[in-house]
Structure 1
């Protein structure tokens, strides 16, 4: 029996054509992507810790907590990479749309210039023949003649201006198309990175949940209480913390963060109903009138870096060597942050995680 091998290739969209799917096609694509992510997550977590298909060894609650904390931290690293890739993809998609619009506008001008040359050619025909320059420009491949230096030399002054204008427009469209090709390739690469980071996040979080399932309800509650360090309640009122902020914008950011207390952590979320860590700080400072970049490792460079001893309400505090977590300082050694799935936005001491640095947006 002869085996049939199917060839699968990624469809290349022309950079000047719309890329979005609509209707049932889009829903089918989303369903397929979701199924792929879940399948990859399940396959990866089946052997997440011992590298085999054998049953995992029994762990103490303390060991479970240590591993879960590690998985959450690794998931947050992947989440920040996902956020950065999404930001880049959104920018590339917007740029591509603008290039499409620009190409359409320039094509209209090119067509008008070509129509003008046609009118000129008709007039020359009536007066005794078409100039070779115009005849060649109106042929199927005018670029071949525009590239030659003798074209303009064989044309009169009026014709030379018309030909030169046509050449400029033709060249400008070619440049726009080349930029669009490069942007489309960059978008495709970024979307591939998005999928990779998404799978990593799902796999890490699924592994953490499998570990937590080994614990009793009492053990899970005890772990949640220890992780909360104050839960979603306030150590000091939002008004008191805001009044200690160094400027009105920081005060507004602090006030916003207090209103987010108790809302769920969702990776990739920027509010108002859910947040990840950098999504919360971005939204808080947006309320204060300052636009922060999307990721922890770019937010740390927004504004001025400050020492831990200089912290004031509204400052951004960062954790871990890879700058993978951020919170909003509210004073008295505490912050408001979005910890991880299952842990809502809450107040916690900044000593809870390895301190990596701080920044004051401006």
Structure 2
């Protein structure tokens, strides 16, 4: 989301702050004895509203990228935790099998272990056979000792897995709390933007949300992509023109800015990180003068917005909740850098 014009946004209520301001103004008019019918507070100038809404969109997008990063880390922690739990379950199954085997041997030994070995030798009808069996039993005892040692080692390994799982649970809990904070920030910014837009007339909102066409034909370019994968990424975003912006979305029917870029290269079999601040480091940096279709173009000092360059100074990007995926000039926002992924 950036400081650029968008399509029409649904209106919302003016909110308690504006109501309170109107009441306060009416009270002040009565107190000064001006008389006459009380008037509502004047609407802010459309240019001021547009500037404030664009600022809120930029702040919301910065929070969205932080949310995306936290969600990626939370998902990773969840995968690690699941893998640890699966491995611990396998180890417990092996441990239970080993314990059962030892229990069977111990029970048999208890049943036959009542006679002194010398007496059993004296009573044996086959002394040579008994001595051979005793030697085998001794070796079996050594093996059982090794089995006991393995059981103890398995117990230690399971406890280590449990410790690692506790660490992952703590990490996951922390990431989920972080997700909640960023989500609250994003929703707060977008709610305030909707409130400001609701104060504009329909004509003013149309002027604010107008912008470059999303027509596929007008997105044609004289430049060509440097390789088939970049060409596929460009083809993908062309096919998504008009798709709605939804923060945190990666397609196939809705996107935020970094989600659109990630989905475009995923369609070409190329992994691109989830967040703008990771995407800018995912390939080779290229100067603005050397841009080619398929390059990732970034905006604002905090690297909070990204689009996919399509040539001739234009990109396709997911702007903000007021506008769908569309074509826009790259000089529409403060340019921060570009990366060639493939």
TM bucket, shorter chain: 0.7 to 0.9
Distance 2:96 2:59 in 1: 55
Give yes or no for the alignment of 1:79 onto 2:64: yes
Aligned to 1:28: none
Query: Quick one: structure 1 residues 203 and 96, their matched pair in 2 at CA, closer, same or farther if it must change by over 3 Å?
Result: same
1:256 and 2:228 equivalent?
no
Q: Deviations over 1:294-343 (max 9, x none)?
A: 11011111111111111100000001111110000011111000000020
| Secondary structure of residue in 2 paired with 1:218 | helix
The corresponding residue for 1:220 is: 205
| Aligned partner of residue 109 in structure 1, secondary structure | helix
| CA distance in 1: counterparts of 2:252 and 2:54, whole angstroms | 26
Residues 193-252 of structure 1: per-residue CA shift (max 9 Å, x gap): 111111111000000000001100001111112xx2x131247555x56x7001100000
Q: Is the 8 A contact 2:219 2:327 kept in 1?
A: no
CA distance in 2, matches of 1:277, 1:197: 17
Q: Is the 8 A contact 2:315 2:330 kept in 1?
A: yes
Equivalent in the alignment of 1:66: 51
* Cα distance in 2 between the residues matched to 1:182 and 1:335: 43
Question: How far is the alpha carbon of 1:291 from its aligned partner?
Answer: 1.2
Contact 1:235–1:347 (CA under 8 A) maintained in structure 2: no
Structure 1 residues 318 and 235, CA, compared in 2 at 3 Å: closer, same or farther? farther
Q: What is the correspondence of 1:137-286 to structure 2 with a 5 Å cutoff?
A: 157-225=142-210, 228=211, 230-234=212-216, 236-238=218-220, 240=221, 244-286=224-266
What does the per-residue CA deviation read over 1:35-75, in whole Å, with 9 as the maximum and x for residues that have no partner? xxxxxxx9xx8569x99x97887421000000000000000
- What CA RMSD, in Å, does the superposition of the two structures yield over aligned residues? 2.3
Correspondence for 1:113: 98
Rg larger in structure: 2
Within 1, Cα distance between the matches of 2:273 and 2:83? 22
Aligned length: 287
d(CA) in 2 for partners of 1:97 and 1:189?
Answer: 17
The 4+ residue runs of structure 1 with deviation greater than 3 A are 45-48, 53-58, 234-238
Query: Aligned in 2, Cα 1:305/1:61: closer, same or farther, shift over 3 Å?
Result: same
Residues 286 and 338 in structure 2, CA contact (< 8 A), matched pair in contact too:
yes
- Going from structure 1 to structure 2, the CA distance change for 1:46 and 1:161 (only over 3 Å counts) comes to farther
In the alignment, structure 2 segments of 5+ residues that lack a partner are 1-12, 26-40, 115-139
Q: TM-score, normalised by structure 2?
A: 0.79
**Structure 2 residue 320 is matched with structure 1 residue 340:** yes
1:327 matched to which residue of 2?
307
Tell me the distance in 2 between the aligned counterparts of 1:169 and 1:263. 53
Alpha-carbon distance in structure 2 between the residues aligned to 1:62 and 1:89? 40
How does the TM-score come out when normalised to structure 1? 0.75
Q: CA 1:206–1:237 in structure 2 vs 1: closer, same or farther (change >3 Å)?
A: closer
**Greater relative contact order: 1 or 2 (C-alpha under 8 angstroms, separation 6 or more)?**
2
Aligned-pair CA distance for 1:123: 2.4
Check conservation: 1:316, 1:327, Cα contact below 8 A: yes
